[in-house]
């Protein structure tokens, strides 16, 4: 018997496979853990096949799960390519994009430039700010699309982007292992910083505040000055600093999750840009 899957179910399965933990996938999708678990069971029941091995540490793909993941990714990619093909010839106008300021050092600006080259009649107006301000901009109609911390929004994102973080420090920093570690902390609301502090507590790693900063440039300056350890995107680590994952008793660095948000009445242009970023960034 043929089985038809909603594209949202396939995206959910991909998120679970990529995170390896149902709760993290649920957080990324802005769904409850119970809802995601029920949908996973529904997929397995429809296929009459076990796709996941479940344990207290998370989930792992069975051989059938690995095959299904490949089909799911291919189907999602083909669907997005089809949507692009239908809109490629009529994209024109202006789109106001707001992004969390730390994303300026990642590939996101390059992805926006690629979209602009593909659609020469599209004008992109880019603003960077804090997630709370970006949420306000979207609500007040001052931005058409924003990429920011989902925890600072009252609505779920249209899609999510996950980015790896690394521990970093000056190459000249002199700190003994198994002592209280100086950390450079953002003096603003930051979800991945909250997860970082929870991981340190679980690992029993002693730490103290070496410096507080409000912006990414200030974080980079504090790192280069040797004032402590900090979390960064790999692309942001200065040349005179180093990645120190696994050293000094530090736990694994958390990932940074960002939501792609736009309004219910978003134009085709805005929706197409969101699809492009979710697929190409």
Q: DSSP of 23-72, one letter per residue? A: HHHHHHHT--HHHHHHHHHHHHHHHTS--EEEETTEEEE-HHHHHHHHHH
Percent of the chain with pLDDT over 70: 93
- Between CA 184 and CA 218 the distance in angstroms is 10
> Where would I find the beta strands (DSSP E) of the chain?
52-55, 58-61, 93-100, 122-129, 145-148, 159-163, 166-170, 181-186, 207-213, 230-232, 241-243, 256-262
Q: pLDDT digit string (tens) for 211-238?
A: 999 889 999 999 999 999 999 999 899 9
The pLDDT value given to residue 213? 94
DSSP 8-class letter at 221: H
Sign (positive/negative) of CA torsion 15, 18, 21, 27?
negative
Percent of the chain with pLDDT over 90: 38
Instruction: Select the more confidently predicted residue: 103 or 1.
Output: 103
Q: Provide the pLDDT confidence category of residue 1 given band limits of 50, 70 and 90.
A: very low
Q: 220 Cβ partners below 8 Å, 6+ apart? A: 236, 238
Q: Exposure pattern of 147-161 as b/e (b: 16+ CB <10 Å)?
A: bbbbebbeeebbbbb
Q: Which residue has the tokens 């699809």?
A: 275
The pLDDT value given to residue 281? 64
Q: pLDDT digit string (tens) for 158-177?
A: 888 888 899 999 998 888 76
pLDDT of 9 strictly over 80: yes
Tell me the mean pLDDT in the region 72-83. Answer: 78
Residue 78, judged by CB atoms within 10 A of its CB (0-12, 13-18, 19+), counts as exposed
Per-residue 3-state assignment (H helix, E strand, C coil) for 183-203 = EEEECCCCHHHHHHHHHHHHH
pTM over 0.75: no
Q: Provide the pLDDT confidence category of residue 5 given band limits of 50, 70 and 90.
A: confident
Mean pLDDT score across all residues of the chain: 87
DSSP 8-class letter at 228: -
Tell me the mean pLDDT in the region 143-154. Answer: 92
- Between CA 276 and CA 114 the distance in angstroms is 10
Listed residue (209, 235, 233) closest to 222, CA to CA = 209
pLDDT of 51 strictly over 70: yes
Tell me the mean pLDDT in the region 15-33. Answer: 82
Listed residue (215, 3, 7) closest to 100, CA to CA = 215
pLDDT of 82 strictly over 80: no
The pLDDT value given to residue 55? 86
CB 18 within 8 A of CB 162: yes
Instruction: Select the more confidently predicted residue: 28 or 182.
Output: 182
Q: pLDDT digit string (tens) for 244-256?
A: 998 888 999 988 8
Residue 13, judged by CB atoms within 10 A of its CB (0-12, 13-18, 19+), counts as buried
Q: pLDDT digit string (tens) for 33-48?
A: 888 888 888 888 888 8
Q: pLDDT digit string (tens) for 98-116?
A: 999 889 888 888 889 889 8
């Amino acid at each position: 018997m043929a089985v038809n899957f909603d594209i949202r179910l396939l995206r959910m399965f991909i998120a679970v496979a990529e995170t390896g933990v149902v709760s993290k996938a649920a957080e990324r999708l802005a769904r409850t853990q119970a809802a995601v678990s029920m949908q996973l069971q529904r997929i397995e029941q429809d296929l009459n096949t076990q796709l996941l091995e479940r344990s207290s540490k998370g989930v792992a793909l069975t051989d059938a799960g690995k095959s299904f993941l490949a089909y799911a990714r291919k189907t999602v990619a083909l669907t997005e390519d089809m949507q692009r093909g239908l809109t490629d010839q009529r994209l024109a106008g202006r789109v106001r994009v707001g992004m969390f300021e730390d994303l300026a050092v990642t590939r996101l600006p390059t992805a926006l430039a690629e979209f602009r080259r593909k659609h020469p009649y599209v004008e992109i107006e880019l603003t960077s700010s804090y997630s709370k301000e970006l949420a306000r901009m979207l609500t007040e109609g001052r931005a058409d699309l924003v990429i920011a911390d989902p925890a600072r929004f009252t609505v779920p994102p249209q899609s999510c982007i996950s980015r790896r973080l690394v521990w970093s420090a000056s190459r000249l920093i002199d700190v003994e292992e198994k002592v209280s570690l100086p950390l450079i902390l953002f003096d603003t609301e930051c979800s991945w910083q909250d997860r970082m502090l929870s991981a340190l507590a679980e690992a029993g790693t002693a730490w103290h505040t070496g410096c507080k900063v409000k912006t990414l440039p200030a974080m980079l300056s504090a790192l280069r000055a040797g004032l402590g350890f900090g979390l960064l995107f790999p692309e942001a680590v200065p040349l005179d600093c180093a990645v120190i994952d696994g050293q000094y008793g530090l736990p694994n660095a958390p990932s940074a999750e960002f939501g792609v948000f736009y309004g219910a009445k978003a134009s085709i242009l805005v929706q197409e840009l969101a699809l492009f970023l979710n697929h190409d960034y």
